[in-house]
Each structure stands twice: as C-alpha cells, then as structure tokens.
Amino acid sequence: MRTFIGDLHIHTCLSPCGELDMTPKRIIDKAVDRKLDIIAIADHNSAENLAVAIEIALKRGIALLPSIEVTSSEEVHVLAIFETLDGAEEMQEMIYKNLAGGINNERLFGLQVVVNEDDEVLRFNRKLLIGATGITLKTLVDKIHAIGGMAIASHADRHFGVISQLGFIPEDIRFDGIESANPDFKTGPDIPRITSSDAHCLDDIGKRTTALLLEEPSFREIAMALRQIDGRMVLQN
C-alpha cells in the first residue's frame, strides 16, 4: 500500500456557480499538473459532464470517481460518489424526477454548460440545478447506499452543510464521511473527516486534499479506507 492524494469535490462548468473554463479537460489537466491521484467531479444535481470526464481521465492516467452533489429537501448538500457512471446516472434520474420546477435563470445563477472532450459546447442544461430536490436527507442517503455509492456530508460546517442547516447530524442517517476543512470539527468515532477543494475555478483544484493509504486509487479502496478495513485509512487532510 502507499499514499494517494485525492480531491473529492470538484465542479465543472455544468454547475451554475462553476466558472466557464471549468471544463472536464481543463480540470483534469490541472489535477495532473498538481499531482493528484484521485479526483471526484460532483456537479450540482446533475451527472451530464461525467461521461466525457471519465473518458479524458482514463487517457491521462488519473482516477476519477463519478459523483453528484445533491441538494436534499432540507437544502443539505451531499456528495454522492459512485464506482461507475451507471450509478451516477441512476442517481441523476431520481434527482431529475424530484428537482424543483422552473428554468435556470442564467443571468442570476450562471450558465450550465455540457461540453465534449475538446471543450466544445454541446448544449445548455436549462433545469434549475441550483435548487433543492424534494428528496429528504434520509431518503437521499439511503438511495445512495442502495445504488452502491458513498454518501459524504458536503462542507458540513459551512453553508448548506448538514450542521448549518439542521444543527446536528441525525442519528438515523449513516454518512460514510464528513467533509470539513476544520481539523477540530468533531465527526464522531465512526465517521472519518475528509477535506476537498470544492473547486469552482481552476486555481482552487487541489488546494485542499485528503491523503489516503490504499493499494490502488479506486472506489473500492477508498470505501475501505473510510471504514478502516485491512489497513486502508484516511491519513491526513
């Protein structure tokens, strides 16, 4: 086993708050430049830029975990991280069925751009991706696990985090990890803390990372590290 460095929360130009140069190609170029081993692309309530991102990552030799940052009905952000694109797309199907109605106000929230591997615009997503879904937090976390994914509480102690929204972590919700940049943030003995950049611009990629002791940079190894199985573990943030 050896140490791998991961940034498990990065947005593309599909997220309305993401800068337009946050294309999968440029994100992966920056991740390689900053010597990251593992990244997770997690746009708000959508997986539509993941297929091209996975294709580019394979060519560049970097592990990419297909992910979505989902907003629950309580407006809590949760990272839904999957082993395969199929898992993320199944999650997206549920999100789209439960997403708040209306059309994205591009002037107010920003463009939501789907691109190809050459940074060419394929289409604009018109859904209100910045909004909350009608899925409760417990139902959301249970669904992520049912699909075979990991549920990480996004920026738990900041805006739209589980603590800022609810004031506590409900006992009946089983997060696989808690994302916080605060080393003093208390997660409980069975919930590891990770840190990620939550990058919305290229310069932020890799500014906050998590070191993991793994055999290889894969979804299954990371899941084992979060559970401290067979020597895999989260080393530092």
What pLDDT digit, counting tens, does each position of 105-127 carry? Answer: 999 999 999 999 999 999 999 99
Phi and psi based region of residue 167 (left: phi greater than 0; alpha: psi -120 to 50; beta: remaining): left
**What CATH number does domain 2-236 carry, 3.20.20.140, 3.30.360.10, 3.40.50.720, 3.30.830.10?**
3.20.20.140
pLDDT at 236 over 80: no
Task: Write down the pTM of the prediction.
Answer: 0.96
Question: Residue 75's CB: how many other CB atoms inside 10 A?
Answer: 15
Domain spans of the chain? Answer: 2-236
What does 124-154 look like in DSSP terms, one character per residue?
E--B-TTS-BS--HHHHHHHHHHHT-EEEET
DSSP structure class, residue 198? -
What pLDDT digit, counting tens, does each position of 44-76 carry? Answer: 999 999 999 999 999 999 999 999 999 999 999
> 237 pLDDT band (50/70/90 cuts)?
low
10 backbone dihedrals φ, ψ, rounded to 5° = -135, 135
